[in-house]
């Protein structure tokens, strides 16, 4: 019979500990709502005794979250437990999660107690927590480095004291999968009352094995996984929950488990947390990275177009993403070029010659790097020299700003052979002002979707590179601008986009002339 794997999210507690500054209650609530919508079973919302802010945000989240269980962390200290219970009292149901070091290192050097004293602290704290709730989780901190006999002993006693979930953390990411799996197997074999509690694992990624250790623990019988979205957390981070969740789904033939996760919310939740925590997702990040479902090799692109299963084990739409992305680079083959032309409505041997276009494309891609669909469209109807042609050229600009937030920008722009000048004064920020002035000059009304600044420093100067993504006529265009000055880089990035749009407009004019 298929069993449930409980998903325990600690993004708001362990994840937040990795941030440079604490999140506001409003931001924490937004994350909590996203986790609830995702279908997370238990949300560890904070460490209420640690600060007034953490207490307040725990209270707020407890009042507002209805479909996920709320959990608060506490040390084996009565005041911690009492404060956690007070913070969560408005929740329909809640869990108190208490932890205590069990490894010789933690017992001797951090807590400076005997193991018998540790056991007594654990028992008293569990009983204290049971006065507030019948859902108590006990964590054996640094379990990965705890003597196995001691670990079995304290787990048995903790369950007898009333703990309903026992967490086995690899607190410093020290173990390897086979070792961690052996620990879980041993607990099931040696602890006589193990069936009276759920075994959970909480793995850190110091050696890059948090997900692998969690998976090995599941195979040994663990039925709760603790982690964070995007794997954020102290030091190298925690188990990335989205990776475990999708492993369980994709390899259900092995695990035969289910979760309550709403898979189509995975990408949106990942993006929300990335933006709020100001922690960009690496492009090669499993499941949610920008390259996770993109294909650059011509062989791979051809295989995917014939059957997505050739090179994709997860359908992108499953996690709320759009279908496959074929990156057009010099490594791409004819199949990808033909696919993009077909997507834009062009027919081979009717509207264009594939061999001619592909030959031009390769030369263009070697020079530019990544090619976009509109670049192909331009190459198909004009020779490659049009890429070097700039209808819009920056002639000069002047900007003034003050502490009141007022920006005054003047731009002189060559439009073909004409020099046009416009000025704008606003309080809406520099990018808005640049956008407004260029719109006045060109009459091309774009919407800026993304704006990224990269500063490159060397011994001689600081170079600012600006990348922009804009929408025009329900289509995405991309631009880049480089300069020693951030304002000039921003202007040049948008002008880059405007030139691409102008070229597409020429394609449309040429097509209409042939009708």
Which residues carry a binding-site annotation for Mn(2+)? 14, 202, 204, 238
Q: Of how many residues is the chain composed?
A: 515
Quote the Cα angle for 365-368-445, to 5°.
115
Q: Is 458 exposed, middle or buried (0-12, 13-18, 19+ CB in 10 A)?
A: exposed
Exposure string of 478-488, with b = 16+ CB inside 10 Å and e = fewer, is: bbbbbbeebbb
8 Å CB contact between 209 and 231:
no
Please enumerate in sequence order all residues whose Cβ is within 8 A of that of 120, keeping only pairs 6 or more positions apart, or say none.
none
Q: How far separated are the first and last CA of the chain, in Å rounded?
A: 64
Residue 423 makes CB contacts below 8 A (sequence gap 6+) with 408, 409, 410, 411, 437
Rounded Cα distance between 144 and 153, Å, is 15
Q: Which two tokens stand for residue 500?
A: 């691409």
Burial of 248 (0-12, 13-18, 19+ CB in 10 A): buried
Separation of alpha carbons 422 and 418, rounded Å = 13
Contact 399, 426 (CB under 8 A): no
Q: Which residue has the tokens 């809406």?
A: 428
Helix (H) or strand (E) holding 26: helix 25-38
Report the distance separating Cα 461 and Cα 173, nearest Å: 41
Structure tokens at 36: 């609830």
- Which residues participate in the annotated binding site? 14, 202, 204, 238
What is the spatial distance between Cα 479 and Cα 274, in angstroms, rounded to a whole number? 23
**What CA–CA distances, in Å, run from 225 to 177, 212, 259?**
15, 12, 11
Write the DSSP symbol of residue 93. S
Q: Take residue 271 and report the two structure tokens written for it.
A: 């993006």
């Amino acid at each position: 019979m298929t069993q449930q794997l409980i998903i325990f999210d600690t993004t708001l507690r362990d994840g937040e500990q990795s941030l440079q500054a604490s999140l506001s209650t409003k931001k924490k609530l937004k994350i909590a709502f996203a986790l609830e919508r995702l279908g997370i079973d238990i949300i560890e919302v904070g460490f209420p005794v640690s600060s007034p802010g953490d207490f307040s945000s725990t209270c707020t989240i407890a009042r507002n979250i209805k479909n996920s269980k709320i959990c608060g962390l506490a040390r084996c200290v009565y005041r911690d437990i009492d404060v956690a219970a007070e913070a969560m009292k408005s929740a329909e149901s809640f869990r108190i999660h208490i932890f205590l070091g069990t490894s010789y290192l933690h017992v001797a050097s951090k807590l400076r107690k005997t193991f018998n004293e540790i056991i007594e602290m654990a028992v008293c704290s569990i009983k204290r927590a049971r006065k507030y709730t019948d859902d108590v989780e006990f964590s054996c901190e640094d379990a990965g480095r705890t003597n196995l006999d001691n670990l079995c002993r304290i787990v048995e006693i903790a369950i007898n004291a009333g703990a309903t979930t026992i967490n086995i953390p690899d607190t410093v990411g020290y173990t390897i999968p086979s070792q961690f799996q052996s620990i879980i197997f041993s607990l099931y074999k040696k602890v006589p009352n193990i069936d009276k509690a759920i075994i959970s694992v909480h793995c850190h990624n110091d050696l890059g094995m948090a997900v692998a250790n969690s998976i090995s623990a599941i195979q040994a019988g663990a039925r709760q996984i603790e982690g964070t979205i995007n794997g954020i957390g102290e030091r190298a981070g925690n188990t990335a929950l989205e990776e475990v969740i999708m492993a369980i789904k994709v390899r259900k033939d092995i695990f035969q488990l289910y979760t309550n996760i709403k898979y189509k919310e995975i990408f949106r939740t990942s993006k929300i947390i990335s933006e709020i925590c100001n922690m960009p997702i690496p492009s090669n990040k499993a499941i949610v990275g920008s390259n996770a479902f993109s294909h650059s090799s011509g062989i791979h692109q051809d295989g995917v177009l014939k059957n997505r299963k050739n090179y994709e084990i997860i359908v992108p739409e499953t996690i709320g993403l759009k279908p496959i992305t074929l990156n057009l680079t010099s490594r791409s083959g004819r199949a990808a070029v033909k696919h993009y032309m077909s997507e834009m409505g062009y027919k081979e041997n009717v509207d264009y010659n594939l061999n001619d276009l592909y030959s031009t494309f390769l030369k263009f891609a070697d020079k530019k790097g990544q090619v976009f669909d509109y670049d192909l469209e331009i190459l198909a109807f004009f020779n490659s020299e049009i890429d070097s042609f700039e209808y819009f050229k920056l002639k000069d600009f002047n900007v003034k700003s003050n502490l009141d937030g007022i920006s005054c920008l003047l731009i002189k722009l060559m439009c073909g052979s004409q020099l046009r000048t416009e000025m704008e004064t606003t309080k809406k920020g520099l990018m808005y002002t640049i956008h407004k002035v260029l719109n006045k000059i060109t009459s091309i009304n774009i919407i800026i979707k993304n704006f990224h600044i990269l500063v490159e420093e060397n011994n001689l100067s600081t170079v600012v590179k600006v990348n922009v993504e804009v929408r025009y006529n329900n289509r995405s265009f991309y631009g880049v601008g480089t300069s020693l000055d951030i304002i000039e880089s921003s202007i040049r990035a948008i002008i880059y986009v405007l030139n691409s749009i102008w070229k597409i407009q020429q394609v449309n004019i040429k097509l209409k002339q042939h009708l």
